Chains A and B, each alone.
Chain A
Amino acid sequence: MAEAKTNGTHPNLVRRRRSMHNRIEILDVVLVVILTVLALLIVIPFINVLTISFVTQQEYLKSSILLFPTEVTLENYKMMFADGRIWTGYRTTALLLAIGVPLNLFLTTSMAYGLSRPDYPFKRFFIFFVVLTMLFNGGIVPMYLLMKQLHLPNPLWSIVLVYGINAFYLIIMMNYFQNLPLALSESAKLDGAGEWTILFRIILPLSTPIMATMTLFYAVDRWNEWFNAMIFIRKSDLVVLQLALRSIVIDSQISQQLNASNVQAQQFTEGMKMASVIVSMLPIMCVFPLLQRHFVKGMLVGAIKA
């Protein structure tokens, strides 16, 4: 019986499937049309933003439907750099990432590994300890007051420390470590290695996929962070990128809604605003193919329990 099978499928099925693949049905066409329209709905606004960032004021005023610049200009980008807020934002956010992400990784990895070790006293207590924070938190006021009481030397530290461990990521990592063969750490312990040594010398080198995924996740979270910065930082030279962007694009839009008639009288800031948006998006766009590859793995490793 075993010899009669081709790759485990019955020969009749193989023949049938091959013939189905060659026919293009109406369903396929409909699907392609629907999905293309939806994809365009996402892509076109971005193209619009990109185009406006490279366009002169005259061209902008001529038509609202801008998908391709007839003459490319770098004026808007120059204006954006002259304004300086984006550059400050980049600097602050880069600093935030450089200090924050390693902290995130250190805290999450050590705790995830610790929680993944087989039965020890109070293990379930600690897991509950973590899960409880996913269910209940104190809200903004206690956190704000706490930060004021800590008298941190630089307000940037408030933002770095407020987001230390993402409980969801912690659990994903914990599951990953739990799935590694126990023999790895057991044999190292027989050789006299301590838990920290095992973690850094043996486990981590074997965990590059999950580490890469977590680095990306935390980096993206940090890059997009703005609310904590808004509450904790008052000095404008420490503004994070997202808030710099917000002050350029959204805050001015809010006042524009009330002064609709003054649109013409203002400087041509639309181009500069769009330039700011593009520049804020750039790193995410570059990193995105990586994100694509890793997040599917990361999600499947621990998150989907259905």
Chain B
Amino acid sequence: MDNNALIRRIIRSKETYLLLLPGVAWFVIFAYIPMYGLTLAFKTYKASLGIFGSPWVGFENFKYVFRDPAFLESVWRTLWINLGRIVFQFPVPIILALLLNELRFQRFKKTVQTIFTFPHFLSWIVVSSVLINFLDMQGMVNGIIRMFGGDPVNFLGNTSIFVPLLYITDNWKNAGWTMIIYLAAISSIDTEQYESAQLDGATRLQTMWYITLPSIMNTIVVMLILSVGNLMTAGFDQIFNISNAATAKAGEILDIYIYRITFQSAADFSFSTAVSLFRSIINFALLLLADRICKMLGSEGLFPPIRRKSRR
């Protein structure tokens, strides 16, 4: 296209650009300029010189980062915990959705749905407060255990059950919300399939396994790949609020490590930025990988909105 026509089109669309201006300005200032700040990873930060003026040191910071055992531990711990989430948390909303879908008592179904989705809208601070109270040594669960003659269990201060505790509490908070996504996918299944299955004499369990489940495979795959994309980043809010002095070590994932070295010890901003850069790059790579796998499997990918010409 020749430049004159392009410039004319730009001028014609000037009002549209005006619409974009506030948003773009925000993104530039609060999303892209901080990205420039990542150059601090290759510098030694001198407060008086600011980010721009601080001297370059190449990969010095990274040498120190990779020599910090706490850093390496936090990376492995993050991967380990989040891979575990895929095993112990990912299937739960799917199962719940399948079960709830089979329910035929409408009012009960709505009530259960409401209850399940409620904790998702609370912050982890509120949820931790509720669950800490419930699971505490003086809490209700231990009260019931004592009532049956058992010894109280230290649910919250025990490093060996800390990770399972994470899985259970995250399911408690969020499984209901994710379940809605699957329920929505189920609701779009063609009812004709159910009708013909019924005519063929299939039991409800059989329809669940052979029709419902395969029909939402697309959604399941996308959600699974999203989970993989979040492998490095999931869990900060939860772990920050539900861990305590006794379990802090067991829960130090990468994000918590970054928080600790940035704000809780003598702040070395260049070191911290180097870790952040590492995290951002790995996260970026994982998300791209996830998107690519999605597309290979025939889905639209994780970021569908880049539309070509026509829509439905």
Which positions in A face B, CB cutoff 8 Å? 9, 13, 16-17, 20-21, 25, 27-28, 31-32, 34-36, 38-39, 41-46, 48-49, 52, 63-66, 106-108, 110-111, 113-115, 117, 120-122, 124, 126-131, 133-146, 149, 161-162, 164-165, 170-171, 174-175, 178-179, 194-196, 199, 220, 223-224, 226-227, 231, 242-243, 245-246, 249-250, 253-255, 257-258, 260, 263, 270, 273-274, 276-277, 280-281, 284, 288, 291-292, 295-296, 299-300, 304-306
Contact = CB atoms under 8 A, between A and B. Distances in A.
- Interface SS of chain A: helix
- Interface SS of chain B: helix
Interface in B41-75: 50-51
Q: Which among B121, B205, B284 has the greatest number of chain A C-beta atoms within 10 A?
A: B121
Interface string B16-30: 111110111011001
A142 B115 CA distance: 40
Contacts of B134: 44-45, 48-49
A138 B306 contact: no
Contact of B22 (A48, A111, A175): A111
B100 interface: yes
A253 B138 CA distance: 12
List 7 A-B pairs, minimum CB-CB distance, nearest first: A142-B37, A64-B143, A111-B23, A139-B276, A114-B19, A138-B34, A224-B123
A25 to B, nearest CB: 7
B133 A129 contact: no
Contacts of B205: 27
Contact of A146 (B27, B37, B277): B37
Interface stretch (B83-91, B159-167, B239-247): B239-247
B31 A137 contact: yes
Contact of A141 (B27, B199, B262, B299): B262
Contacts of A127: 305-306
B244 A135 contact: no
B128 interface: yes
A64 B138 contact: yes
